[in-house]
Structure 1
Amino acid sequence: MKTTLKPKYDMRFLFSCLFLVSFLNVFSQDEVKPEIKPVVKIDSLYREDQFYFSVTYNLLVQGPDGLKQDKFSAGLSGGFLRDFPLNKKRTFAIAPGLGISYQNYYQNLTVSKSADGSLIYGVNSYDEFVANRFRQYLVDVPIEFRWRNSTYESTKFWRIYAGLKFSYVFAAKSVLKDGENIYKIKNNPDLNDFQYGVYLSAGYNTWNIYAYYGLNTLYKSEVKTLSGENVSMRTMNLGLIFYIL
Structure 2
Amino acid sequence: MYFKTHMKQSLNKKNHLKLFLSCFILLSIFNAFSQETITLEDASKVKIDSLYREDQFYFGFTYNTLINKPDGLSQSKLSTGFSLGFLRDMPINKNRTKALASGIGFSYNNYNQNLAIYKSDQAPTYSIIDSETSFNKNKFSQLLVEVPIEFRWRTSTYESHKFWRIYGGFKLSYLIHDRSIFEDDQGKIIVTSNKDFNKLLYGAYISVGYNTINVYAYYGLNSLFKSAKIEGEPITMKSLNIGIIFYIL
- Which structure: larger Rg? 1
- Aligned match of 1:223 in 222, 228, 237? 228
- Aligned match of 1:199 in 202, 205, 209? 205
User: Hey, what's the Cα distance between the residues in 2 that align with 1:151 and 1:203?
Assistant: 16
Partner of 1:119: 124
Kept in 1: contact 2:124–2:194 (CA 8 A): no
TM-score, with structure 1 as normaliser: 0.86
User: Hey, what's the Cα distance between the residues in 2 that align with 1:18 and 1:184?
Assistant: 106
Give the residue type in structure 2 aligned to 1:38.
I
- Aligned match of 2:20 in 18, 23, 27? 27
Give the residue type in structure 1 aligned to 2:238.
R
TM-score, with structure 2 as normaliser: 0.85
User: Hey, what's the Cα distance between the residues in 1 that align with 2:146 and 2:165?
Assistant: 22
User: Structure 2 stretches of 5 or more lacking a match?
Assistant: none
Structure 1 position 82 matched with structure 2 position 75: no
User: Structure 1 stretches of 5 or more lacking a match?
Assistant: 1-7
How many pairs align? 235
User: Hey, what's the Cα distance between the residues in 1 that align with 2:85 and 2:111?
Assistant: 22
Partner of 2:219: 213
| SS of match in other structure, 1:38 | helix
Partner of 1:3: none
How far residue 216 of structure 1 moved from its aligned partner, in angstroms, is 1.1
User: Hey, what's the Cα distance between the residues in 1 that align with 2:99 and 2:93?
Assistant: 8
How far residue 11 of structure 1 moved from its aligned partner, in angstroms, is 4.2
User: Hey, what's the Cα distance between the residues in 1 that align with 2:157 and 2:82?
Assistant: 30
Give the residue type in structure 2 aligned to 1:140.
E
Partner of 2:11: 18
How far residue 196 of structure 1 moved from its aligned partner, in angstroms, is 0.7
How far residue 14 of structure 1 moved from its aligned partner, in angstroms, is 4.2
- Aligned match of 2:78 in 53, 72, 80? 72
Partner of 1:157: 163
Partner of 1:233: 237
User: Hey, what's the Cα distance between the residues in 2 that align with 1:86 and 1:224?
Assistant: 46
Tell me which moved more, 126-135 or 105-114: 126-135
How large is the Cα RMSD of the aligned pairs?
2.1
How far residue 9 of structure 1 moved from its aligned partner, in angstroms, is 5.0
User: Hey, what's the Cα distance between the residues in 1 that align with 2:118 and 2:160?
Assistant: 55
| SS of match in other structure, 1:232 | coil
Higher-helix-fraction structure: 2
Give the residue type in structure 2 aligned to 1:196.
Y
Matches within 5 A, 1:55-66: 55-66=61-72
Structure 1 position 93 matched with structure 2 position 94: no
Tell me which moved more, 162-171 or 24-33: 24-33
User: Hey, what's the Cα distance between the residues in 2 that align with 1:197 and 1:178?
Assistant: 34
Tell me which moved more, 118-127 or 148-157: 148-157
| SS of match in other structure, 2:14 | helix
How far residue 161 of structure 1 moved from its aligned partner, in angstroms, is 1.6
- Aligned match of 1:180 in 180, 186, 189? 186
User: Hey, what's the Cα distance between the residues in 1 that align with 2:58 and 2:80?
Assistant: 17
Partner of 2:56: 50
Give the residue type in structure 1 aligned to 2:91.
P
Structure 1 position 141 matched with structure 2 position 147: yes
